[in-house]
Copies of this chain bind each other. A is one copy, B any other.
Amino acid sequence: MKNYIKYVVRIFFALFFPLIVSAQEYPSLLITKANLPALREGVKEFPLLESSFLDIQRSVDAELVHKLIVPTPKDAGGGYTHELHKKNYQLLLNSAICFQITQDVQYFDLSKSILIAYANKYQSWPEHPKRKENHPSGRIFWQNLNDCVWLVNAIQAYDLIVSELSSQEREIIEKDLFIPMGEYLMITHKAVFDKIHNHGTWSIAAVGITGLVLNKPEWVNKSLYGSALDKQTGFLKQLDELFSPDGYYAEGPYYQRYALSPFILFAKALHNHKPELHIFEYRNRLLAKAIETVFQTSYTNGLLFPLNDAIKDKSIKSNELVLSNNIAYSDIDTNPTLLGIAKKQNNVTISDAGLKVARDIFLGKSKEFDYKTILIRDGKDGKKGGIGIIRSGDEDTQQTLVLKNTTHGMGHGHFDRLNFLLYDNGFEVFPDYGAARFLNIESKSGGHYLKENNTWAKQSIAHNTIVINEASQFQGNVAKAEQASPTHITLYDHDTLKYVIASDSHSYPQIKISRALVTIQINEFKKPLIVDVSYIYSGKALKTVDLPYYYIGQVVDQSKKNVEANTSLHSFGEKNGYEHLWLNSTYPLQPHGDYITLLSNYKFYKVHFASESPNNTLNHVLLGANDPELNLLPTRGIVLRQENLHEAIFAQLIETYGDINPTDETISDANPIVKNFKITPKEKNNVNISFEAGENVFQLQTDLTNNIISNIQIEQL
């Protein structure tokens, strides 16, 4: 009976909301009618566009032989119905693209039949049976988010084929699918629609793009200005709130990549339909910055820095970033270094923008992407910390340091302020663990975040950062971490000397932690030397201060000889992530003179240690304790520990050398050069660190005004 009423109401509505006004031209989104002839030609003419199209066509052709299945939604993420509905929307859109490029009616028929099939069933589906408590549900998928993604794809497909549909077919598809779906997202799940959050962006993009295509101004306006039309929510507010002025998205690069999609797709649709909005100019070309920033937060091998929750194999090749890059080049700024990214991506979207990118690459306009030494500020005002990135060298051998001191990043944030990453020579050397998750692997917690994401990956000890008293920053409390912004981060970039300094006074009560990463290019060295100094100042006595370095590769040398390894392994601690580390061996470190040397991807990394503390140990650890399900990836690290003090200085110098050729079995440049890396006793407000490199003595003066590292000076003595 209820359903019957709903039906009547819907019919009634339909009378007032006209179907597509045929004056509007289709397609009108990523592909526009005016560009179709050029696009069809371009697919034949420009290799990158051709190969990208053929990939899509092949994927569609492989499905043409199969019977379409539109199952009743049943399974959670990674499960059968979930994967099938995901596949269906991809097929729907890809087939529509194939139709427009080839004008082959079989593709049209496929896309149409998918839309009709969903239109026939959609309204019979209730909220998803596997929805999670406190998570807004979808009807096709267990999460509202996935339904939004479904609609964003489906409306693009519709836009591509609508001009060939009969008015009856349009009516079925619009009234039985798009309109109820849009209302479901906008009304039933109004809270999501109005949320300043990535999930909200997907919701308004889905409704907004659908509104543009179906010519429903109310939907468009609510998407732009919030369901109350008061501009307190909606697309523009999201652009204001979710990104920093440098285009950084607080959840980190992995989610920034994902979050960009609905922004770019909706913005491009607005750009076509409502050019008067000048959406790409909004907030000082914010979207262009956001796109550049995600590439700046990747290493030259294409992988995104795995900060916060991140699947580590996510690269700039992801579809979202192909799209973003194409739109940035085509619609915002024809910067030829973006073509360098497109060449690495080796893929373009089949779209007006992809055509332009592929054509300009074909015309030889491409330049290498400009990976920068850069400070990327966080916070909507740019005053809430940021990420410092120091780069040196050519793309294929680049040394890249990352110092993270951002806001927490909401539910996907890690307790990792002052976290340090090192990349070199094409690979990670001191990595971040990323998220503890086997994405899409159902047998591993259904493909969701593992419990070890909380017990290990988010904890401070899982990162190359300072950990005090074996507790995580902010006691592992997200709300507390969100409240307190990082204290400061600055970057200096001048010729042979570059550094980033950051501090935080909130992550541990009454304690200031600060860290400087310095690179010094000295003639004798192929690679800059890295000096890593941390200073911890406390109003109260500290039991332990730990600084881990997790590493890729193998320890091939250490100053301490005849290390006694433990004959049985116990966990390094009891909680806060320490329970997941096996302690292999422990030995005392002298204030200076100690080192370890790593062999990592055919290069040596010698890490010299200096401190002022007499109670200093090096602890060899191995990840994997308290892990009965073998959820954790075996990872080795050293944890530098200082005990029983009010202030602590950790100073490390990392020198990179060695050219090992495994094919020829040769080695050259096999010897380190740095000697006598040490701290001279701390004076008031500063600490001096000195070392010899070849014939020269260098001194690094660290200003500790206000009990944080506030400045660095280096001189050659």
Cross-chain contact B663 with A315 (CB below 8 angstroms) = yes
Give A229 Cβ to nearest chain B Cβ, in Å.
35
User: Does chain B have a CB within 8 A of A662?
Assistant: yes
> Which of A26-34, A368-376, A425-433, A557-565 forms contacts with chain B?
A557-565
Who on chain B is nearest to A658 by CB? B441
Cross-chain contact A666 with B597 (CB below 8 angstroms) = no
Which A309-345 residues have C-beta < 8 A from chain B? 311, 313-315, 317-319
Q: Interface size class for chain A?
A: 35 or more
**Hey, what's the 0/1 contact readout for A415-448 against B, CB within 8 Å counting as 1?**
0000000000000000000000011111110000
| A597 CA / B444 CA spacing, docked (Å) | 11
Which A538-569 residues have C-beta < 8 A from chain B? 554-557, 562-565, 567-569
Cross-chain contact B663 with A317 (CB below 8 angstroms) = yes
Cross-chain contact A622 with B620 (CB below 8 angstroms) = no
User: Does chain B have a CB within 8 A of A72?
Assistant: no
| A349 CA / B222 CA spacing, docked (Å) | 70
Residues of B within 8 A of A584 (CB): 624, 630
Interchain CB contact (< 8 A) of A599 among B319, B438, B624, B626: B438
Interchain CB contact (< 8 A) of A567 among B440, B626, B664: B626
Known A311-B662, A319-B663, A599-B438; contact A630-B569, beta-carbon cutoff 8 A: no
Which A578-635 residues have C-beta < 8 A from chain B? 582, 584-585, 597, 599, 620, 622, 624-630, 633-634
Residues of B within 8 A of A439 (CB): 665
Who on chain B is nearest to A439 by CB? B665
Cross-chain contact A564 with B633 (CB below 8 angstroms) = no
Who on chain B is nearest to A671 by CB? B80
User: Does chain B have a CB within 8 A of A636?
Assistant: yes
Cross-chain contact A660 with B440 (CB below 8 angstroms) = yes
Which A93-149 residues have C-beta < 8 A from chain B? none
Give A414 Cβ to nearest chain B Cβ, in Å.
21
| A442 CA / B668 CA spacing, docked (Å) | 12
Residues of B within 8 A of A83 (CB): 666-668, 670
Interchain CB contact (< 8 A) of A664 among B319, B570, B665, B666: B319
User: Does chain B have a CB within 8 A of A86?
Assistant: yes
Give A656 Cβ to nearest chain B Cβ, in Å.
15
| A313 CA / B667 CA spacing, docked (Å) | 14
**Hey, what's the 0/1 contact readout for A482-522 against B, CB within 8 Å counting as 1?**
00000000000000000000000000000000000000000
User: Does chain B have a CB within 8 A of A78?
Assistant: yes
Cross-chain contact A556 with B627 (CB below 8 angstroms) = no
Who on chain B is nearest to A569 by CB? B569
| A319 CA / B630 CA spacing, docked (Å) | 41
Cross-chain contact B667 with A556 (CB below 8 angstroms) = no
**Hey, what's the 0/1 contact readout for A681-697 against B, CB within 8 Å counting as 1?**
00000000000000000
| A14 CA / B582 CA spacing, docked (Å) | 69
Give A611 Cβ to nearest chain B Cβ, in Å.
22
Cross-chain contact B557 with A443 (CB below 8 angstroms) = yes
Interchain CB contact (< 8 A) of A628 among B564, B569, B666: B564
Cross-chain contact A556 with B668 (CB below 8 angstroms) = no
Give A293 Cβ to nearest chain B Cβ, in Å.
20
Give A613 Cβ to nearest chain B Cβ, in Å.
24
Residues of B within 8 A of A636 (CB): 630, 634
Cross-chain contact B628 with A562 (CB below 8 angstroms) = yes
Residues of B within 8 A of A314 (CB): 662-663, 665
Cross-chain contact B630 with A554 (CB below 8 angstroms) = yes
Give A604 Cβ to nearest chain B Cβ, in Å.
9
Residues of B within 8 A of A626 (CB): 565, 567
Cross-chain contact A634 with B622 (CB below 8 angstroms) = yes
| A563 CA / B666 CA spacing, docked (Å) | 46
| A256 CA / B318 CA spacing, docked (Å) | 43
Residues of B within 8 A of A444 (CB): 556-557
Residues of B within 8 A of A666 (CB): 83, 86-87, 440
| A108 CA / B648 CA spacing, docked (Å) | 61
Cross-chain contact B567 with A568 (CB below 8 angstroms) = no
Residues of B within 8 A of A567 (CB): 570-571, 625-626
Who on chain B is nearest to A302 by CB? B663
Who on chain B is nearest to A564 by CB? B628
Who on chain B is nearest to A623 by CB? B634
Residues of B within 8 A of A667 (CB): 78, 83, 440-441
Residues of B within 8 A of A628 (CB): 562-565, 585
Give A696 Cβ to nearest chain B Cβ, in Å.
22
Give A281 Cβ to nearest chain B Cβ, in Å.
31
Cross-chain contact B630 with A443 (CB below 8 angstroms) = no
Cross-chain contact B569 with A568 (CB below 8 angstroms) = yes
Known A78-B667, A663-B318; contact A627-B441, beta-carbon cutoff 8 A: no
Residues of B within 8 A of A443 (CB): 556-557, 597
| A665 CA / B311 CA spacing, docked (Å) | 10
Residues of B within 8 A of A441 (CB): 556, 599, 667
Give A51 Cβ to nearest chain B Cβ, in Å.
15
| A610 CA / B292 CA spacing, docked (Å) | 55
Who on chain B is nearest to A571 by CB? B567
Who on chain B is nearest to A661 by CB? B440
Residues of B within 8 A of A663 (CB): 314-315, 317-319
| A362 CA / B564 CA spacing, docked (Å) | 59
| A162 CA / B454 CA spacing, docked (Å) | 72
Cross-chain contact A624 with B627 (CB below 8 angstroms) = no
| A116 CA / B649 CA spacing, docked (Å) | 56
| Central interface residue in A569, A624, A629, by most chain B CB within 10 Å | A569
Who on chain B is nearest to A596 by CB? B630
Residues of B within 8 A of A438 (CB): 554, 556, 599
Residues of B within 8 A of A660 (CB): 440
Who on chain B is nearest to A570 by CB? B568
Cross-chain contact A565 with B627 (CB below 8 angstroms) = yes
Interchain residue pairs with CB less than 8 A apart (17) = A83-B667, A314-B662, A314-B665, A317-B663, A318-B664, A440-B666, A441-B599, A441-B667, A555-B630, A564-B628, A565-B627, A567-B626, A569-B569, A569-B582, A584-B624, A585-B628, A630-B636
5 closest cross-chain pairs (CB), A and B? A443-B557, A565-B628, A569-B569, A313-B662, A440-B667
Known contacts A319-B663, A438-B554, then 11 further A-B pairs from the complex at CB < 8 Å, ordered by chain A residue = A314-B662, A314-B665, A315-B663, A318-B663, A440-B666, A441-B667, A564-B628, A565-B627, A567-B571, A584-B630, A634-B634
